[in-house]
Amino acid sequence: MWIVAIAWIYVVVLMAATEPTVIGGIMTFVFYCAVPLSILFYLTGAKRRRQRRQAAAQHQGKPGNKDAAGDAAEPSGADGDGD
C-alpha cells in the first residue's frame, strides 16, 4: 500500500506544480493528496488500533504485570502522586 501512496503523492505533486498559481498548487496538493491519504490511512489502520487497544486491556487486567523497566505496574486507580 505504501508504494501506491508514494506514487499518488508523486502524481499529485506534478499536478500541483502545473497549477497557474501557488495557492492553486497548494490547494490541489491538500485536497487531492493530503486529505484523501489521511482518511485512507485512518480507515485502514482501524484493525491495528483495535488490536493494540485489546492487547493493552488484556495486559492491564493481569495482576503482577511488569512494565518495560521491570517494575511492577501500578493499579489502574493509582495516580502516582504518593497519597
Give the start-to-end residue ranges of the domains of the chain.
2-59
pTM metric for this prediction: 0.59
pLDDT at 71 exceeding the cut of 60: no
Q: How far apart are CA 39 and CA 33, in angstroms?
A: 10
Residue 2 confidence (pLDDT): 87
Answer for the pair 36, 12: CB distance below 8 angstroms, yes or no.
no
Joined grid coordinates for residue 52? 493494540
pLDDT (tens digit, 9 = 90+) per residue, 5-64? Answer: 999 999 999 999 999 999 999 999 999 999 999 999 898 888 888 888 888 888 887 665
pLDDT of residue 81: 57
DSSP letter for 83, please: -
